[in-house]
Chains A and B, each alone.
Chain A
């Protein structure tokens, strides 16, 4: 067994003259919750897309779950789960139909889907809502359901792209309980977020500025390094020099 599930070396993505991701190198370990931070436009999404096999890198080297991002994207897709910042379930399908659909396209057998679906509905206390269309559920429930569906096939790694946008703090806390739960079961969690309190929940975080990784360590070590009392300050310290941003 390898001790890394994600490994990148000088991973680069260029769009014409623009270098979206500039030689990033890092490793993520099994069962780890890895926070991938950065301001808007820092290159997080591009980096994540390369790791998910959606975008071919321009340069450098990377493996995900032991598979090469250039050649083995098919195997990578089977080993990962993904939840995007946009809500990732079908609103006009019921809770059960969504579970069955995503279980189905990940190639789970009917029996597995049934088991998973009962387990998942119990855990999320959705017993009374199974026949309801997903669009009628509150946002928090939807997101918890979306996360559970993203790991329905027991992937080695789950990629979460700003999963808690627009959710109240209580639901966010509950969402993180689910993340911890998944990590305990050995699923590696790769998460991008804008909330610095969430960064504190991660085992290790990396902070991206203008396409390259400026810091990578555990939250406590980073705070010590920048002699700051919160991740918020660490982030601000690093990101304020950024040349690229939305405004």
Chain B
């Protein structure tokens, strides 16, 4: 009974060889098209650099108001430290609490720091003191960054105090996020760029690659050959899967080493979730390829169908919470939204799989659904 087994092995080996031949061909296609290749690898770098610079410009010289009711040694030192940093520019005009509110509304200030009357006293006698930090969170990303800058300045001061005195002093920054208290949808552009680049590249490139075969008439030849149509799709997906991995790695490296944005969670999990989104995008690309016969239409459909909803509804440019309910509901069917939440949770909050399983499940369900209808449609189109 060993013969059939052996035969089976030979057949599998043959199929593997066919498959490798095909994948090789796909790589030729990708690497011969220099312009597209440049776009594929250049896009994420350009986006990260662009967003990165836009972000640093925003944070530099932010107008900050300080209400110093304490006017003591400790508050003075902290104010000096804040003044010394290049991120802040202290607005010296004295404002009342009400006037602060107005200044925020007019947008003349982004941050307010309030020292209570007994700041130094509390610190020395109760070992514990409070500072109120108020930020304009209508732009949650900036607010978040400003807050973290301020708190790090305060904790710097705290450390200095601890070195002088043995007693542990504790300054508790009380943070108030105006307008968007929970900082929901805080746009963090790195996960956003990842979602955008992955969906864009995979959807557009697969749909164009498949439609190209149709347009050039080579699809017919492939269908007449013993090579299985499903393998045609699979081999087309492989180069883009690899390119996407390279892109994810490049984005992560850039964000860690150039933008100083640490990855707090597991990198393996990050790549696993990215693979999931890539598969979603590939299925979508396949779907688009079944509804059109020209490369141009496929490109347009991918752009309109993917890029727009991804930028609008993933929550990376515009907080979803601020949208009308109808749009909020629509945002739920955009795969990039879920991926964005997942990546943010892993990268920034450092959550493990238990923290993102719900989103992962939703994304998986979407992928399976898309894959089934695309494959069904692809099959019927062949008839």
Q: Name the A residues within 8 Å of B21 (CB-CB).
A: 100-101, 104-105
Complex CA distance for A30 and B73, rounded to whole angstroms? 104
- Among A86, A92, A106, point to the contact of B225 (Cβ < 8 A): A106
Q: Which of A77-85, A182-190, A231-239 contacts B (4 or more CB under 8 A)?
A: A77-85
Complex CA distance for A56 and B28, rounded to whole angstroms? 34
Q: What is the minimal beta-carbon distance from B218 to any residue of chain A, in angstroms?
A: 6
Does A105 contact B226, Cβ atoms closer than 8 Å? yes
Q: What is the minimal beta-carbon distance from B17 to any residue of chain A, in angstroms?
A: 7
Q: Given A86-B216, A86-B220, A54 and B25 touching (CB < 8 A)?
A: no
- Among B29, B220, B224, B383, point to the contact of A80 (Cβ < 8 A): B224
Q: Mark A51-89, 1 if CB is under 8 A from B, else 0.
A: 011111000000000000000001001101011111111
Q: What is the minimal beta-carbon distance from A120 to any residue of chain B, in angstroms?
A: 17
Considering only residues 83-99 of chain A, those with a C-beta below 8 Å from chain B are: 83-93, 97
Q: Name the A residues within 8 Å of B29 (CB-CB).
A: 90, 92-93
Report which residue of A55, A78, A107, A159 has the largest number of chain B beta carbons within 10 angstroms of its beta carbon: A107
Closest Cβ neighbor of B215 among chain A residues: A86
Q: Name the B residues within 8 Å of A97 (CB-CB).
A: 25, 28
Closest Cβ neighbor of A86 among chain B residues: B217
Does A92 contact B28, Cβ atoms closer than 8 Å? yes
| B125: interface (CB < 8 Å) | no
Q: Name the A residues within 8 Å of B28 (CB-CB).
A: 90, 92-93, 97
Chain A interface extent, by class: 20 to 34
Does B217 contact A104, Cβ atoms closer than 8 Å? no
Q: Name the A residues within 8 Å of B225 (CB-CB).
A: 77, 82, 102, 105-106
| Total inter-chain residue pairs, C-beta < 8 Å | 77
| B77: interface (CB < 8 Å) | no
Does A107 contact B18, Cβ atoms closer than 8 Å? yes
- Among A56, A92, A106, A150, point to the contact of B226 (Cβ < 8 A): A106
Q: Name the B residues within 8 Å of A102 (CB-CB).
A: 221, 225
Considering only residues 4-31 of chain B, those with a C-beta below 8 Å from chain A are: 14, 17-18, 21-22, 24-25, 28-29
B-side interface mostly: helix
- Among B18, B32, B33, B383, point to the contact of A105 (Cβ < 8 A): B18
Does A84 contact B217, Cβ atoms closer than 8 Å? yes
Q: Name the A residues within 8 Å of B221 (CB-CB).
A: 82-84, 88, 102, 150
Q: Given A100-B21, A107-B18, A107-B226, A90 and B220 touching (CB < 8 A)?
A: no
Does A101 contact B25, Cβ atoms closer than 8 Å? yes
Q: Name the A residues within 8 Å of B218 (CB-CB).
A: 86, 88-90
Q: Given A54-B382, A55-B383, A97-B28, A105 and B224 touching (CB < 8 A)?
A: no
Q: Mark B200-231, 1 if CB is under 8 A from A, else 0.
A: 00000000000000001110111111110000
Complex CA distance for A90 and B26, rounded to whole angstroms? 11
Does B224 contact A77, Cβ atoms closer than 8 Å? yes
Does B14 contact A90, Cβ atoms closer than 8 Å? no
Known A82-B225, A90-B28; further 11 A-B contacts with Cβ < 8 A: A77-B226, A80-B224, A87-B217, A90-B218, A92-B32, A97-B28, A101-B22, A104-B21, A105-B21, A105-B227, A150-B221
A-B contact pairs, 30 of them (CB 8 A): A52-B224, A53-B224, A54-B220, A54-B224, A54-B382, A77-B224, A77-B225, A78-B226, A82-B225, A84-B221, A86-B220, A88-B218, A89-B218, A90-B25, A90-B29, A92-B28, A92-B29, A92-B33, A93-B28, A93-B29, A97-B28, A100-B21, A101-B25, A104-B18, A104-B21, A104-B22, A105-B222, A105-B226, A105-B227, A107-B14
**A-B pairs, 3 with minimum CB distance:** A86-B217, A104-B21, A82-B224
